[in-house]
């Protein structure tokens, strides 16, 4: 199938737009988290924003590689959500779940049906990342809402993102035992918590 006449080209353009906008919203969330002294949440939002921009670049490059310079006309809904941290964590988790569970798997199927196997595989791999993003956002949302981000049923590794001090415990420290910096700097290793992220 001719790429320029394919639905895959339109889907890639929609995905590029969606990823750019998600990247921007995560940057807004990072700024808000910094203002609230949740330094680890700020770092995590920046990490996710970076991931979204990498997805955007992947989709952008497919269009340029297969079409050359072009313009794509789009008709699609793009979300504008409440910028408060609690509500945006919740709404971004929902958006990530939709991308992981239906949007990108559907786009992968269309790409495969149209013979663009490389694009199909990329959509499937990006869907897996979005699923991990949804889990991370859900974890942070629950902790932020209940004010217990640094409590866990089982012992997990808490790491000070300022000085690197690590301890396995069920609750984070108020001040780092080594450098005395605030609780907001404690980092959580999500690879340890989520099965889906275990091999990342």
Q: Please choose, from the candidates 152, 158, 145, the residue with its C-alpha nearest in 3D space to the C-alpha of residue 188.
A: 158
Residue 46 CB, nearest approach to Fe ion (Å): 13
Q: How far, in Å, CA of 183 to CA of 175, rounded?
A: 6
Asked if 137 and 190 touch (Cβ cutoff 8 Å), the reply is: no
Q: Which two tokens stand for residue 194?
A: 């989520």
Q: How far, in Å, CA of 15 to CA of 21, rounded?
A: 10
Stretch that binds Fe ion, among 44-52, 63-71, 136-144, 188-196 (CB under 5 A): 44-52
Nearer to Fe ion, 19 or 114 (CB): 19
* Percent of the chain that is helix, strand, coil (3-state, to 5): 65, 10, 25
Q: Give, as ranges, the residues between 20 and 39 that touch Fe ion (CB under 5 A).
A: none
Q: Please choose, from the candidates 102, 100, 120, 98, the residue with its C-alpha nearest in 3D space to the C-alpha of residue 110.
A: 120
Residue 48 CB, nearest approach to Fe ion (Å): 6
Stretch that binds Fe ion, among 3-11, 25-33, 123-131, 152-160 (CB under 5 A): 123-131
Q: Which of 55, 66, 93, 159 binds Fe ion (CB under 5 A)?
A: 55
Q: Which of 14, 42, 66, 133 binds Fe ion (CB under 5 A)?
A: 133
Residue 5 CB, nearest approach to Fe ion (Å): 26
Stretch that binds Fe ion, among 48-56, 101-109, 171-179, 181-189 (CB under 5 A): 48-56
Residues that bind Fe ion (CB under 5 A): 19, 52, 55, 96, 130, 133
């Amino acid at each position: 199938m001719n790429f320029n006449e394919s639905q895959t080209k339109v889907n890639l353009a929609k995905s590029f737009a969606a990823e750019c906008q998600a990247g921007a919203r995560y940057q807004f969330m990072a700024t808000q988290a910094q203002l609230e002294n949740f330094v680890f949440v700020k770092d995590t939002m920046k990490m996710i924003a970076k991931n979204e921009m990498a997805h955007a670049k992947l989709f952008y490059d497919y269009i340029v590689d297969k079409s050359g310079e072009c313009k794509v006309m789009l008709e699609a809904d793009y979300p504008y959500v409440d910028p408060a941290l609690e509500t945006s964590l919740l709404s971004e988790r929902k958006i990530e779940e939709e991308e992981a569970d239906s949007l990108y798997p559907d786009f992968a199927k269309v790409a495969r049906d149209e013979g663009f196997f490389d694009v199909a595989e990329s959509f499937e791999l990006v869907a897996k990342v979005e699923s991990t993003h949804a889990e991370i956002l859900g974890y942070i949302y629950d902790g932020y809402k209940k004010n217990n981000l640094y409590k866990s049923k089982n012992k997990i590794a808490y790491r000070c993102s300022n000085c690197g001090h690590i301890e396995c415990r069920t609750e984070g420290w108020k001040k780092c035992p080594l450098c005395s910096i605030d609780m907001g700097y404690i980092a959580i290793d999500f690879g340890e918590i989520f099965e889906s992220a275990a091999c990342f």
